[in-house]
């Protein structure tokens, strides 16, 4: 069995250190560009005082939620910090570094999320105001996209700065410390994704069920007590959650590349994965600045053009970088094992092709997701047409679109992994190539974050315009158009996010193997001593691991969907109560208590995120300590495979339903108010928790589970090899993990399905 270890004693030359420092400077420059963009956005006009009042309510609600969320998560972060400190480590420096940078990763994730929320709650009103001005279309689009640009710049800037810092300070021990950094980023992002996702969709679904369905008032009507909560939700879910998520993807992919890089490319392996995203920073700046819609051009076309231009520039520059920084033979690499030095092939060529694979993958997924969720293509048109035969056919056709697009996306991602893997016959280099393909994807993250943030900002802008009634005519038309563009960009970025997740997870899968092999080597145990270790893939216990991994993805999705319906039920209850107890609300003479609904959303989301969060962290611990390292490998494989398909299925079926509704609202098949419209509203409501809660949360889920596995692998192997007492400890840990999971699930089941509990009240009040 071939084994490659991390170069623990690795030293960087002076020139190399200078290069890493230069990368850190580029990262800081990205932050500076972000600040310049931020000033530009804030300088724009804020519209009428009514619009500002609404914006203020949204700002306060969103800030209140995030502050409370951070306080709750703070406790969890401290617990994990302590546990992390207790896990086996090489020396105290590594132990401290790992725990410390766990905090840094979590902190950065939180900062990005908070910034995304803070800015988008300020940009929304400015976009709405800009739409009223002359040349409003260009101005509004510019503000919305540059808001995204700010978040994009901070995402890549903080991610790259953190990684460069770790490499500068820890050099040879950097990979271990980076595990902590990536874990912190992924863990916080997952909680923000789940919590924000539940908040936004509970408010959205709850608002629609009472407003649109029961009372027949339009979306974003100010008489609906849940409208402010709905707008708050867009910001804490789509902005804060997604920004933290993409930051986490960025950080974890970098971490995986740096872990695998030293084993494959020696010192250069610590450098090249930093150079590629540094190039991405430059092209992201270009991408953000060149985005402006030409007259009469669809906003999406302009955004796509920027994406493709910056992707091509990235590909060219990365290829040049590969041939400049890397030698043309493995023998020319410093600090690699003899086996690697003897590997045939050209490292520069392998690296360049791997990065290009990643960039091309981003482009293909952009196109594929656009095809399956865009209003101008066949799939969404067909879903729209099925609205004529009722809601059941809308649901079925949307599910078919979701299944189909998931298959193609998974095959494309699988193809990219396989392509990168084929670049070298040596497993270690092949794994690094997969990680480098991930780095290639990263070069597009700046623009992707900008695209994503564009969605909720324009959605909110339309909401504020509608609620205030101060934007009409052409201005309203512009905002509707931007909102539709935002729907598609949101779907696309989800596709890219899951692609980065799979590449990062595959690379981490390799790190997991390294962690096991290293530990076995240190313990001086022959690999074959671990029962059936060499025969893993065929063993029924590994297959059981694969089944459990797939099951956890289903469980997590089910919990997320359930949390939304339950929280939405509470909103329905509250909005109905306000309508009933205060008839003035319906007449428009009394303002509803928006704050109460925001409070309920806040409380419920935070309560609901505990169970899926615990499941993500504890399930790999239960499988690893309970069944062993082989089944845990199977578990990760099952979770990655099913997670990929489920995430894309949920995101794209939801996206297709959303845009099918838009199609009908644009006057097709009977238009607004028709039976066909009612059918697509049902589809859209089903799609809400799919695409904005369960689907996107699977992405950080996969990485959290992989990182937990990498971190606990040495401990599992240690316990497995040790006899007697250590077996007791091992199984005790597994049992405790299972007990906590079961308790969490039982507690959340106890809450019942609130939506189901409210009707008794409904029938008496109706």
* Contacting a second copy within 205-234 (CB under 8 A): 205, 209, 213
Q: How many residues bind a second copy (CB under 8 A)?
A: 100
Nearer to a second copy, 93 or 670 (CB): 670
In this structure, are residues 20 and 271 in contact, taking their beta carbons and an 8 Å threshold? Answer: yes
DSSP 212: I
Nearer to a second copy, 72 or 674 (CB): 674
φ/ψ of residue 411, rounded to 5: -65, -40
| 547: contact with a second copy by CB under 8 A | yes
CA-wise closest residue to 150 among 128, 181, 182, 118: 118
In this structure, are residues 661 and 654 in contact, taking their beta carbons and an 8 Å threshold? Answer: no
Tokens of 209: 């069920």
| 388: contact with a second copy by CB under 8 A | yes
Burial of 14 (0-12, 13-18, 19+ CB in 10 A): exposed
**Between the CA of residue 473 and those of 44, 133, 144, 245, what are the distances in Å?**
21, 12, 20, 37
Nearer to a second copy, 175 or 549 (CB): 549
- Nearest distance from residue 165's CB to a second copy, in Å? 29
| 546: contact with a second copy by CB under 8 A | yes
| 418: contact with a second copy by CB under 8 A | yes
Q: Which of residues 6-65 bind a second copy (CB under 8 A)?
A: none
Distance CA 617, CA 500 (A): 20
- Nearest distance from residue 250's CB to a second copy, in Å? 21
Residues 170-209, mask of contacts with a second copy (x by CB under 8 A): -----------------------------------x---x
| 421: contact with a second copy by CB under 8 A | yes
CA-wise closest residue to 657 among 366, 370, 300, 399: 399
Nearer to a second copy, 554 or 731 (CB): 554
Residues 281-320, mask of contacts with a second copy (x by CB under 8 A): ----------------------------------------
296 CA to centre of own chain: 33
Tokens of 441: 């994807």
Distance CA 97, CA 220 (A): 48
- Nearest distance from residue 327's CB to a second copy, in Å? 24
Task: Pick from 49, 328, 534, 765 the residue near a second copy by CB under 8 A.
Answer: 534
In this structure, are residues 402 and 650 in contact, taking their beta carbons and an 8 Å threshold? Answer: yes
DSSP H or E segment with residue 364:
helix 347-373
Q: Which long-range contacts (CB under 8 A, 24 or more apart) does 209-218 make?
A: 209/568, 209/572, 209/685, 210/571, 210/572, 210/575, 210/576, 210/579, 211/575, 212/681, 213/681, 214/576, 215/579, 215/586, 218/466
Q: Which stretch binds a second copy (CB under 8 A): 118-126, 158-166, 323-331, 540-548?
A: 540-548
| 427: contact with a second copy by CB under 8 A | yes
Q: Which of residues 667-706 bind a second copy (CB under 8 A)?
A: 669, 681-682, 685-686, 689
Question: To 10 degrees, what angle do helices 474-522 and 136-170 make?
Answer: 10
| 753: contact with a second copy by CB under 8 A | yes
Q: Which of residues 642-671 bind a second copy (CB under 8 A)?
A: 642, 644-645, 649, 669
Distance CA 742, CA 431 (A): 36
| 407: contact with a second copy by CB under 8 A | yes
Task: Pick from 343, 386, 428, 578 the residue near a second copy by CB under 8 A.
Answer: 386
507 HSE (CA, 13 A, CB side): 34
| 743: contact with a second copy by CB under 8 A | no
Q: Which stretch binds a second copy (CB under 8 A): 14-22, 73-81, 347-355, 559-567?
A: 559-567
Q: Which stretch binds a second copy (CB under 8 A): 133-141, 238-246, 307-315, 641-649?
A: 641-649
| 536: contact with a second copy by CB under 8 A | yes
Nearer to a second copy, 197 or 446 (CB): 197
| 432: contact with a second copy by CB under 8 A | no
Residues 486-515, mask of contacts with a second copy (x by CB under 8 A): ----------------x---x--xx-xx--
| 633: contact with a second copy by CB under 8 A | yes
Nearer to a second copy, 49 or 534 (CB): 534
């Amino acid at each position: 069995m071939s084994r490659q270890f991390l170069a623990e004693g690795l030293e960087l030359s002076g020139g190399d250190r200078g290069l890493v420092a230069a990368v850190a400077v580029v990262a800081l420059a990205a932050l500076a560009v972000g600040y310049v963009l931020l000033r530009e956005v804030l300088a724009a006009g804020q519209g009428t005082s009514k619009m500002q009042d609404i914006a203020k309510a949204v700002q306060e609600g969103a800030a209140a939620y995030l502050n409370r969320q951070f306080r709750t998560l703070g406790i969890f972060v401290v617990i994990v910090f302590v546990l992390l400190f207790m896990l086996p480590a090489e020396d105290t420096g590594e132990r401290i570094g790992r725990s410390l940078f766990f905090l840094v990763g979590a902190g950065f994730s939180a900062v990005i999320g908070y910034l995304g929320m803070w800015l988008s709650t300020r940009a929304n009103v400015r976009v709405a105001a800009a739409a009223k001005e002359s040349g409003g279309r260009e101005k509004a689009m510019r503000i919305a996209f540059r808001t995204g640009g700010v978040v994009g710049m901070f995402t890549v800037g903080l991610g790259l700065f953190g990684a460069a810092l770790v490499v500068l300070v820890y050099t040879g021990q950097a990979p271990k410390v980076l595990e902590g950094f990536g874990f912190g980023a992924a863990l916080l992002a997952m909680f923000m994704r789940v919590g924000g996702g539940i908040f936004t969709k509970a408010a959205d679904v709850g608002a629609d069920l009472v407003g649109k369905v029961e009372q027949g008032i339009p979306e974003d009507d100010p008489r609906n007590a849940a409208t402010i909560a709905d707008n708050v939700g867009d910001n804490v879910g789509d902005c804060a959650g997604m920004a933290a998520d993409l930051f986490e993807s960025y950080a974890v992919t970098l971490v995986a590349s740096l872990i695998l890089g030293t084993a494959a490319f020696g010192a250069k392996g610590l450098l090249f994965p930093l150079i590629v995203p540094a190039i991405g920073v430059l092209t992201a700046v270009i991408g953000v600045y060149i985005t402006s819609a030409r007259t009469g051009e669809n906003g999406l076309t302009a955004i796509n053009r920027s994406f493709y231009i910056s992707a091509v520039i990235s590909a060219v520059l990365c290829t040049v970088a590969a041939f400049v920084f890397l030698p043309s033979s493995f023998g020319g690499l410093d600090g690699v094992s003899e086996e690697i030095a003897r590997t045939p092939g050209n490292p520069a060529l392998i690296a360049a092709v791997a990065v290009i694979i990643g960039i091309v993958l981003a482009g293909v997924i952009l196109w594929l997701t656009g095809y399956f969720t865009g209003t101008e293509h066949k799939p969404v048109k067909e879903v729209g047409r099925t609205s004529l035969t009722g809601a059941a056919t809308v649901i079925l056709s949307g599910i078919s679109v979701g299944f189909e697009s998931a298959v193609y996306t998974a095959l494309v991602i699988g193809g990219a992994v396989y392509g990168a893997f084929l670049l070298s016959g040596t497993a270690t280099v092949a794994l690094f190539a997969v990680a480098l393909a991930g780095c290639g994807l990263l070069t597009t993250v700046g623009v992707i974050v900008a695209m994503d943030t564009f969605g909720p900002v324009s959605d909110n802008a339309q909401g504020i315009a509608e609620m205030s009634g101060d934007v009409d005519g052409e201005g309203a038309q512009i905002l509707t158009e931007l909102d539709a563009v935002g729907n598609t960009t949101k779907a696309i970025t989800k596709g890219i996010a899951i692609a980065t997740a799979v590449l990062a997870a595959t690379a981490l899968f390799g790190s997991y193997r390294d962690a096991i092999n290293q530990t076995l080597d240190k313990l001086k145990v022959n690999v074959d001593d671990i029962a059936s270790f060499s025969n893993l893939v065929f063993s029924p216990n590994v297959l059981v691991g694969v089944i459990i991994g797939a099951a956890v993805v289903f469980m997590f999705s089910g919990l997320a969907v359930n949390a939304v319906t339950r929280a939405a039920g509470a909103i329905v209850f509250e909005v109905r109560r306000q309508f009933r107890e205060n008839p003035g609300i319906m007449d428009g003479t009394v303002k509803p208590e928006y704050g109460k609904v925001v409070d309920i959303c806040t409380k419920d989301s935070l309560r609901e995120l505990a169970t899926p969060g615990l499941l993500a962290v504890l399930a790999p611990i239960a499988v690893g300590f309970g069944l062993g390292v082989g089944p845990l490998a199977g578990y990760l494989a099952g979770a990655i495979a099913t997670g990929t398909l489920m995430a894309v299925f949920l995101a794209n079926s939801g996206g297709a339903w959303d845009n099918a509704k838009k199609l009908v609202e644009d006057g097709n098949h009977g238009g607004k108010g028709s039976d066909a419209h009612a059918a697509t509203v049902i589809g859209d409501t089903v799609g809400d928790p799919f695409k904005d809660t369960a689907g996107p949360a699977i992405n950080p889920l996969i990485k959290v589970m992989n990182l937990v596995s990498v971190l606990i692998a040495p401990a599992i192997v240690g316990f497995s090899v040790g006899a007697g007492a250590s077996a007791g400890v091992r199984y005790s840990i597994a049992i405790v993990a299972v007990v906590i999971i079961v308790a969490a699930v039982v507690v959340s089941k106890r809450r019942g399905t609130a939506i189901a509990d409210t009707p008794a009240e409904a029938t008496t009040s109706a």
